[in-house]
Amino acid sequence: MPTKNRFAELHDEIAAWRRDLHENPEILFETHRTSGIVAEKLQEFGLDEVVTGIGRTGVVGVIKGKATGSGKVIGLRADMDALPIHEQTGLDYASKTPGAMHACGHDGHTAMLLGAAKYLAETRNFDGTVVVIFQPAEEGGGGGREMCEDGLMDRWGIQEVYGMHNWPGMPLGSFAIRPGAFFAATDQFDITFEGRGGHAAKPHDTVDTTVMAAQAVLALQTIASRNADPIDQVVVSVTSFETSSKAFNVIPQKVQIKGTVRTMSKEMRDLAETRIKEICAGIGATFGGTADVTYYRGYPVMVNAEAQTEFAADVAKSISGQCEEAPLVMGGEDFAFLAEERPGAYILVGNGEDGAMVHHPEYNFNDEAIPAGCSWWAEVVEKRMPAL
């Protein structure tokens, strides 16, 4: 694998950073220790500017090339937060925080971008400016949105932005990407059916919310099977069903169901929201009760820009010899907020074909992916903004 020699030299050091972060996970915007370590290292590397507190606990660093006459400014983004999962890896450096672990590899993403920042600050073999972005709260908190709302793009004049995620199941150090819609929009719904509770022996005296909610669970699946164009993507999942009574002989007054909606286009996102509200209102009225639907819009569709994706793939091929077309991913990714602000590309790097998948208590980022990931970051800069 033709990775940069400097990252072979730095491999043990970067892996040590990663393992320290793994041992001390922090969730959502509570990345105070992580952000402090990132800022301290960027300052040690001699960056031209290091700013904390962007998007609450985000960190931004600026590296100017040997020349800046090109006027180009590229953003490189890594996420820092962990997940509320209790680790079961048995590693020597396993999480010391009960109920929190780096189960998605953000420790690896942060360490790799730190490694790339160190190399770029040492060499500065490019004509332009690099903005390294360390983001909190990717796992459901919308940290990318908050950094953008704090002026991330305009303050540093970022023109295009690149991101990376490790991917278990892909060969170690390989790459995959796709143009256009890549990761799904992720929304949530919370629906409360209210009827008239009563004794289970007298259902005729009640308005049965359990039957209403059960009908809704099935009917919501018709959004995908009967409302959506078969070539479009939508996943509606009811994930929680809770009644207001736990008794075996009581028909409950209320039933609450919750779930998620995942779509790959604005049109399908709008359709899904509309149909959920219509279906549930209809069911409530049919059975003589009511349905109160709250719909929360989460991360938008993460869209890779055509030109930046082609460039990102070419860089990957220069490192690993290939770059496969990635499948659509129905999970969410809040790099989407950055990609809405500026054209960008988000790539997958192989974490190896063995081991647990992300968001699993036995998952662990593979340190052997570090040279490939760091090399990709560095090559994005040096090939996009070649030195004069």
- Whether 204 has a binding-site annotation, put simply, is no
- Whether 86 has a binding-site annotation, put simply, is no
- Whether 362 has a binding-site annotation, put simply, is no
- Whether 149 has a binding-site annotation, put simply, is no
Q: In whole angstroms, give the CA distance from residue 142 to residue 78.
A: 14
Strand order in the sheet with 254-263: 234-243, 254-263, 185-194, 290-299
Whether the Cβ atoms of residue 134 and residue 35 lie closer than 8 Å to each other: yes
DSSP3 helix / strand / coil % (the chain, rounded to 5): 35, 30, 35
Whether the Cβ atoms of residue 89 and residue 361 lie closer than 8 Å to each other: yes
Q: Distance of CA 126 to CAs 48, 311, 385, Å?
A: 15, 16, 5
Of 154, 119, 199, nearest to 371 (Cα)? 119
Please report, to the nearest 10 degrees, the dihedral formed by the alpha carbons of residues 95, 96, 101, 105 taken in order. Answer: -40
H or E element, residue 186: strand 185-194
Of 11, 172, 39, 24, nearest to 102 (Cα)? 24
Q: Kindly give the interhelix angle for 266-286 and 209-219, rounded to the nearest 10 degrees.
A: 150
- Whether 22 has a binding-site annotation, put simply, is no
Binding residues: 104, 106, 139, 165, 359
Residue numbers belonging to the annotated binding site for Mn(2+): 104, 106, 139, 165, 359
